[in-house]
Amino acid sequence: MEDYHKPDQQTLQALKDTANRLRINSIKATTAAGSGHPTSCCSAAEIMSVLFFHTMRYKVQDPRNASNDRFVLSKGHAAPILYSVWAEAGFLQEAELLNLRKIDSVLEGHPVPRQAFTDVATGSLGQGLGAACGMAYTGKFFDRASYRVYCLLGDGELSEGSVWEAMAFAGFYKLDNLVAIFDINRLGQSDPAPLQHHVEIYQKRCEAFGWHAIIVDGHSVEELCKAFGQAKHQPTAIIAKTFKGKGISGVEDKESWHGKPLPKNMAEQVIQEIDDRIQNKKKLSPALPEEDAPIVNIRNIKMPSPPTYKVGEKWATRKAYGVALAKLGHANDRVIALDGDTKNSTFSELFKKEHPSRYIECFIAEQNMVSIAVGCATRDRTVPFASTFATFFSRSFDQIRMAAISESNINLCGSHCGVSIGEDGPSQMGLEDLCMFRAIPNSTVFYPSDAVATEKAVEIAANTKGICFIRTSRPENAVIYNNNEDFHIGQAKVVLKSKDDQVTVIGAGVTLHEALAAAEQLRKEKIYIRVIDPFTIKPLDKKTILESARATKGRIITVEDHYHEGGLGEAVCAAVVGEPGVTVTRLAVSHVPRSGKPAELLRMFGIDKDAIMQAVRAAVSKSRNAE
């Protein structure tokens, strides 16, 4: 960045005037809405004015242009000032601000990507910086473009651990295209923030995390211009000492005003006072970006060749995931992989070996890893695949939930699911992951049962919008599908079928193989079962399941390496609810497991082939007795 040139007095005054117009519009919008956070907006008015009308380079009428500077409002409750900025710039009509929070307005209570100028939804505090890190990493290492990324955080959210995961990430990777602005306005929602105005402590913390940290008066446009003009070979944190409700007489720096709009009479008086400080109505225009972000195409990514497995060979689906991902990396140079220091267990290391520059090590910080993936995926710059043990995604559930609200397209692979991992014990066993991912709106939940299905799941996920989750297992199981087998979302496979089938058994992953072993044994007793592999747990193939149930006297048994709640069994129950004559027996992990050998644990929790055989015999004899 060029050396700092102090703006002339006219520009500085125009920035002050802009800040006051932003204050006025934030107050007007929240008073009209009867709710919102005007005091949180007012502390950031000069920051937003300088950022959007002096520092950032972007095309106002093309907010998602790939070359534009990026902005993330991590303190999402200050949304009205973001909307006021875009009205000031001319992208929004000023009158639209008065529709804030209305059901037919795009201007929601917190930023969402329905707004063209919002890349990631914020409002669950502490998540904006992680996404900004993903954008900055993409800009520096993948796009190699000159756009910069700015993230505005409130001091209240600096108590969130996820902020410091992101700080560590940016410091480690020296993201010198990233600027975090801390709006230190002293007051939280119900109490002062823990450090209040001790800005020097924030500075030391930032420096300890590898950031260049500058303390400024957050209401001085000149100090802000100078701070934003400094370029270092590390990320920059601007620690802005501000006052909550700045400019609102009787409210500025006072407790008990968080999230409260000004009453109409008071608002009119305050607006008049602020308006009197404005010297010039002339509006500033932002500088245009350097258009150097490459054109990217991430549509229709196809594997360069079919799978090369042999039926009967034993493969762990976690390893097949790594093989598939490395292969997919050759199909498109925008496929990237992220991991949380488990790459030699999830097998994402196979991707790293073949595409080292497209692998991001996120270390043991799963919340941040998901946020990085979300940031990397914005503006369709990359196709991220992030992996760790399935159970550790529970740590980042809020980030995944917000990713769905962000309409993000990310792919997450959770390995080491269920009790079948064995000796490591319950802290490492993913037993809640299906429940968690099924609850996410617009999610797709893949549960491949062999290496071929896993490779197809990876390819399909790369081309599927929304949150995709791929559940992989540790044990090695036989390949059951031919390499040319076709897979689709929401289409189950009937892997075993005869006209004499008496019960439908639905398994996935290790339990599908237990079901097939049970079928072989039961055949000797002249009991025949139909075995279904769902492939995706969400959406579930209701049609195939019902057809099979009707062909087997309405009898369904589900068997899963997961807790009862929210897994395969409950998904099947939801699919067949209200269907006359259909009964579902669910075999699942019933309580907190323990260490042991995989086979011992499958037996202990009643999800192995013997338990399936017992359940089948019980279902068949029950109907015989009824007859």
Strands 383-389, 314-316: pairing kind: unpaired
CA angle 58/60/64 to nearest 5° reads 70
Q: Give the whole-angstrom CA distance, residue 314 versus residue 300.
A: 30
- Judge contact between 192 and 158, C-beta under 8 A: no
Identify residue 117 by its one-letter amino acid code.
Answer: F
Cα atoms found within 13 Å of the Cα of residue 387, Cβ hemisphere only: 29
How far are the Cα atoms of 361, 446, 448, 458 from residue 335, in angstroms, in the given order? 15, 19, 21, 11
Identify residue 345 by its one-letter amino acid code.
Answer: S
Look up tokens 């954008």; give the residue. Answer: 135
Look up tokens 């125009």; give the residue. Answer: 14
One-letter-per-residue 3-state SS of 495-529: EECCCCCCEEEEECCHHHHHHHHHHHHHHCCCCCE
How far are the Cα atoms of 124, 126, 408 from residue 112, in angstroms, in the given order? 12, 16, 11
> Is 459 a catalytic site residue?
no
Sheet holding 149-154, edge to edge: 70-73, 149-154, 178-184, 236-241, 212-217
Q: Is 353 left (phi over 0), alpha (psi -120 to 50) or beta?
A: alpha
Q: Is 8 helix (H, G, I), strand (E, B) or coil?
A: coil
- Judge contact between 71 and 51, C-beta under 8 A: yes
Cα atoms found within 13 Å of the Cα of residue 147, Cβ hemisphere only: 27
Q: Which tokens sit at 297?
A: 């195409």
Q: Which tokens sit at 468?
A: 């995709």
Q: Give the whole-angstrom CA distance, residue 198 versus residue 158.
A: 13
- Judge contact between 301 and 463, C-beta under 8 A: yes
The residue from 108, 366, 432, 459 that is catalytic is 366
Q: Is 554 helix (H, G, I), strand (E, B) or coil?
A: coil
DSSP code of residue 44: T
Q: Give the whole-angstrom CA distance, residue 105 versus residue 200.
A: 41
How far are the Cα atoms of 48, 101, 120, 378 from residue 106, in angstroms, in the given order? 21, 8, 15, 19
Q: Which tokens sit at 564?
A: 């009862």
Identify residue 422 by its one-letter amino acid code.
Answer: G
Q: Give the whole-angstrom CA distance, residue 443 versus residue 465.
A: 8
How far are the Cα atoms of 118, 123, 281, 376, 406 from residue 411, in angstroms, in the given order? 21, 23, 48, 12, 14
Q: Is 254 left (phi over 0), alpha (psi -120 to 50) or beta?
A: beta
- Judge contact between 25 and 97, C-beta under 8 A: yes
Cα atoms found within 13 Å of the Cα of residue 497, Cβ hemisphere only: 11
Active-site positions read 366
